[in-house]
Chains A and B, each alone.
Chain A
Amino acid sequence: MNAIILSVIIGVVMMFCSVFVPNKNSYRHIASIGLVLLLAGNIAEMHGFSLFHINTKGMLSYDNFGLFFNTIAIASTLIYVLLSGRDIQKIGTYVAEYFVLIFFVLCGIAILSSYNNLLMLFLGIEILSIPLYILTGSDKRNMMSNEAALKYLLMGSFSTGLMLMGIALIYGATGSFNIEVIHAASPQQGANGMSELSVSFLEIMGMLLLMVSIGFKVSAAPFHFWTPDVYDGAPAVITSFMATIVKVAGFIAFIKLFDARMLGTSVETNKLIGVDWKLLFAIIIICTLLVGNVTAVFQQSVKRMLAYSSIAQAGFMLFALFSMNDVAKEGILVYSVAYSLATIGIFAILVKMKDFTFEGYNGLGKTQPVLAFTNTIFLLSLAGIPLTAGFFAKFFMLESAIKTGTYLWLVIAAVVFAAISVYYYFRVIQAMYFKAGDAAVVEAPTMSFKIGLLLLAAIIIYFGIFPQALLSWFYF
């Protein structure tokens, strides 16, 4: 509860700052302080200290998983603002508003990590999405940015419509919005005296629509078509935020929905009429990995490559939904940290580059050794090389899938795609170190930016050696 309310309060405070604080440079400092407060509030709640006591009638519920994810999201945002705060300022004239919108997105994330009711899921997704539509179009004079925002808005509204339809169908079948109730409802208790099978059909249709709609948010294939255009069109700093923290939050919502389902009886009834959710997720995983990895290979722009890479990474994160066991839940937390931190770092460096193509990176190892070195660590982490957090991220995903004991072909296919992913990540490394050129940066990076990058790289390596350090927080 702390995170939801505090993020809104801080957001509103920042809004007034834009009127009363004339110095534009101070906004990012105010935002950082706000994020620290938010983080402190959330950690306090993890230790059982809640500032607000509001009876939500069971619409929200707080558990370690959600709260810990909140911490991850807020901490990642803090790192993001510290590293890229200057670049957020440069997007346009209304500097404070960008930070305000980021706080509102965090509010949506806090709802998504604690919802217990489909209405709250819907609210969370909307509170998360609407600020993003605005942020995507925040570079007003850039046609690409406008196009991206419009595309995102139209497609996003459509997926919202699907979600509402799904919620309606589930309500019709079970008579409740509460995710624990709807999944637990045994078919005999179906509303209006409907037969067992027809209840199950309605429920499956509803869940499928929800899956499509959230699959859209996390850019799982075949619902990914908006991703490259939106990520490419939006200002690079905003893409960084969308591709990391926001995307991972979508996964948390996804997992909460299907986690509750695993406990219920509906999985068994689904099997009776021949619907196998594992198979469904397996197909989505294969599609997502295929589209993300194979298309990323052919990109010429690093920014667009990262858009496809984020689809490919989503394919790996979907393994958590496929296997849905304890390892998967731990794994998705490790994955969200590893993926978010590395991607934030890569984007922070990308924003500094003059030229976003692969050639633009030629010779960066000579001109900016610190940037090149840290970028290498981030890329190695995304590729899943040991000693980086990205290795354990992939490791836990594979582990969770192998633990289910079925679908070994899926795991083998996934590692083949992981090997393909090395191609496009290493292309950047090759450009930076092995090719001649003088990669130009927009402005010389400051000392604090370099130190920030080095610290981020150190964190990634630390979690790459001791992933338990991260998970011990989960079981605090």
Chain B
Amino acid sequence: MIALFLILIPLFAGLVAVFVNSGKGAKGWSLIASFATLALAILSVYSTNHNQLFFNGAWLPQMGSNFSLSLDGMSKMLALLNAIALPIIIISTYRNDYKNPGRFYSLMLLMQAGMMGVFLASDSLLFYFFWELALVPAYFLCSMWGGERRIPVTFKFFVYTFLGSLLMLIGILYLYFKTPGAHSFALQAFYDLKLTQAEQNFGFWMFFIAFAIKMPIFPFHTWQPDTYEQSTTAVTMMLSAIMVKMGIYAVIRWCVPVFPLAVAKFDGLVVVLSVIGIIYASLIAIRQDDMKRLIAYSSIAHIGLMSAAIFAGKEAGLQGVMIQMFNHGIVVLGLWIVADAIEQQFGTRKFSQLGGLAQKAPDLAILFVVMAFANISLPLTNSFVGEFLMLNGLFQYNWIAAAVAIVSIILAAAYTLSMVQKIFYGQTSELTMQARDSAASVNVALAVLVVLILFFGVYPQPMIELTSDTVKTLLAQVKTF
């Protein structure tokens, strides 16, 4: 039942939050709800009880579709990430006021419910439902609150992902009619399919384009920097910490195991695209003057490495992707929180207008530097473990691709450290002269993240153990072909 409640709590909390008018009430209510979800997610990590981790209800029996949810290692981890992120987002932005707070927090909770469903669904039609349901609140969140160009930018984001989803729907229906007997939408039925090479090629592209847009990997990434820049930072956190993980998760769960022959055929292409994306995004990030755009491009680079490691198909690499999904979520959350704290205080995110902040805001500076190190994947931070494993996998696949991808770490150092330098060191500008240190709520949120970063940097074993079952079943499934 845990699986079911992980979705129901944010769903109902979200529906209730619409009717809360006061800002404090809406914040408090959603904070309570998100802590309840977090408690449940932590419980699920330690649970081995089959009844708690699986749920199966009748939905559309005549069509062969069930409301079935399941939690394996990867799902547990992402559900945990999803559950950790929302309270941290709410705490770190506790001092911000949004117009129509009831609606804002309601949509945030609904989005969390939708994404939770994506991570839990083990029926393709249900998966499609949640995939879209996560998108609709995101659309309204990005369009109602945010920068000046938000409406056209969000619209591009929506149409892009919607087109991808519809292609995936074709793929789902295509596989549905390949299942034997009374057709079925169940994930296991898709795993049991023995498709020919040509059939797999078609299905693969139908699914993969949807996921590639969501991740996003080069050249499907153009919606991402604009959307991240224009949305309110709290929403950007949801998008980049969790929503992009939907794409990676979906490739591992719905794409690679179902179409192994097609993956074997197109892996080179995807790895090359991913590596191009890594270098391309890193180079653009170096030239950015806007903090949010820089983080957006840096995020594309990190996602590119994950995608390359998945398609390299080696155990170490896949294990790295698993833990890096979590770690990247944590690190990027921290970066956005700092970006939001700076923007709230100074009303700008431009490096050219900032500088010398370290003297005025030492706490923020210390916490941010840890985040920055994690973004460069320095040893002792959590990202190091993940990136090391991923590069290891990529190296086993093709050493040239790995060598090019490793350059990205140098580039990451270049743009991340220059960001630290431009914001926190150098001359104080007019704006930063009167700077205050960050608020307690921001510090608390960041401190929690720093603890997580250092803990999993030193001792990543729990995370690896949690997800190793998924990696093993995945590799076993691919081998059956």
Contact = CB atoms under 8 A, between A and B. Distances in A.
Interface of A: 380, 385-387, 391, 395, 398-399, 402-403, 405, 408, 411-412, 415-416, 418-419, 422-423, 426, 430, 433-435, 466-468, 471
B196 interface: no
Contacts of B202: 408
Interface of B: 60, 62-63, 128-129, 132-133, 136, 140, 143-144, 150-151, 155, 158-159, 162-163, 166-167, 169-170, 173-174, 176-177, 202
17 contacts: A380-B136, A385-B136, A386-B128, A386-B133, A391-B132, A395-B173, A398-B169, A398-B173, A399-B173, A402-B170, A405-B177, A415-B166, A423-B159, A430-B143, A430-B155, A434-B150, A435-B151
Contact of B170 (A387, A412, A426, A471): A412
A415 B210 CA distance: 13
Nearest to A404: B177
A415 B167 contact: yes
Nearest to B166: A415
A232 B230 CA distance: 37
A423 B158 CA distance: 10
B151 A434 contact: yes
Contacts of A399: 173, 176
A132 to B, nearest CB: 34
Contacts of A433: 140, 143-144
B170 A422 contact: no
Contacts of B158: 422, 426
B280 to A, nearest CB: 26
Contacts of A411: 170
Main secondary structure of the interface of B (DSSP, over half): helix
A416 B163 contact: yes
Nearest to A420: B159
Contacts of A467: 60
B162 A419 contact: yes
Nearest to A402: B173
A466 B67 CA distance: 12
A385 to B, nearest CB: 6
Nearest to A471: B62
B177 to A, nearest CB: 6
Contacts of B63: 468
A98 B170 CA distance: 44
Contact of B159 (A412, A422, A471): A422
A434 B136 contact: no
B159 A419 contact: yes
Contact of A387 (B129, B174, B177): B129
Given A419-B159, A426-B155, A468-B60, A386 B129 contact: yes
B131 to A, nearest CB: 8
A394 to B, nearest CB: 9
A402 B174 contact: yes
A385 B62 contact: no
A399 B171 CA distance: 11
9 tightest Cβ-Cβ pairs between the two chains A and B: A415-B166, A419-B163, A386-B132, A402-B173, A386-B129, A434-B143, A434-B151, A399-B173, A419-B162
Contacts of B133: 386-387
B158 to A, nearest CB: 7
Nearest to A401: B173
Contact of A403 (B128, B143, B177): B177
A120 B6 CA distance: 57
A433 B140 CA distance: 9
B201 to A, nearest CB: 12
Nearest to A403: B177
A231 to B, nearest CB: 26
A391 B165 CA distance: 12
B193 to A, nearest CB: 15
Contact of A385 (B132, B151, B159, B177): B132
A426 B157 CA distance: 13
Contacts of A387: 129, 132-133
Contacts of B143: 430, 433-434
Contacts of A412: 167, 170
A403 B128 CA distance: 19
A402 B163 contact: no
Contact of B169 (A380, A395, A423): A395
Given A386-B129, A395-B173, A430-B143, 5 more contacts: A385-B132, A402-B173, A415-B163, A419-B159, A422-B158
Nearest to B173: A402
A416 B206 CA distance: 12
A430 B156 CA distance: 13
A438 to B, nearest CB: 17
A402 B177 contact: yes
A88 to B, nearest CB: 34
A419 B213 CA distance: 14
A415 B172 CA distance: 14
A293 B129 CA distance: 24
Contacts of A380: 136
Given A386-B133, A467-B60, A468-B60, A398 B144 contact: no
Contacts of A395: 169, 173
B404 to A, nearest CB: 33
Contacts of B144: 433-434
Nearest to A435: B151
Contacts of A398: 169-170, 173
Contacts of A385: 132, 136
Given A402-B170, A415-B169, A468 B140 contact: no
A240 B166 CA distance: 28
Contacts of B62: 468, 471
Nearest to B145: A434
A272 to B, nearest CB: 29
A422 B159 CA distance: 7
B132 A415 contact: no
A471 B151 CA distance: 38
Q: Identify which of B151, B176, B202 gathers the most chain A CB atoms within 10 Å of its CB.
A: B151
A415 B136 contact: no
A422 B140 CA distance: 14
A408 B170 CA distance: 9
B353 to A, nearest CB: 28
Contacts of B163: 415-416, 419
A426 B136 CA distance: 11
A416 B150 CA distance: 24
B267 to A, nearest CB: 24
Contacts of B140: 433
B441 to A, nearest CB: 29
Contacts of A416: 163
A373 to B, nearest CB: 10
A395 B63 CA distance: 12
Q: Identify which of A395, A416, A434, A467 gathers the most chain B CB atoms within 10 Å of its CB.
A: A434
A423 B156 CA distance: 9
Contacts of B173: 395, 398-399, 402
Nearest to B174: A402
Contacts of B151: 430, 434-435
B220 to A, nearest CB: 14
A375 to B, nearest CB: 14
Nearest to B163: A419
Nearest to B131: A386
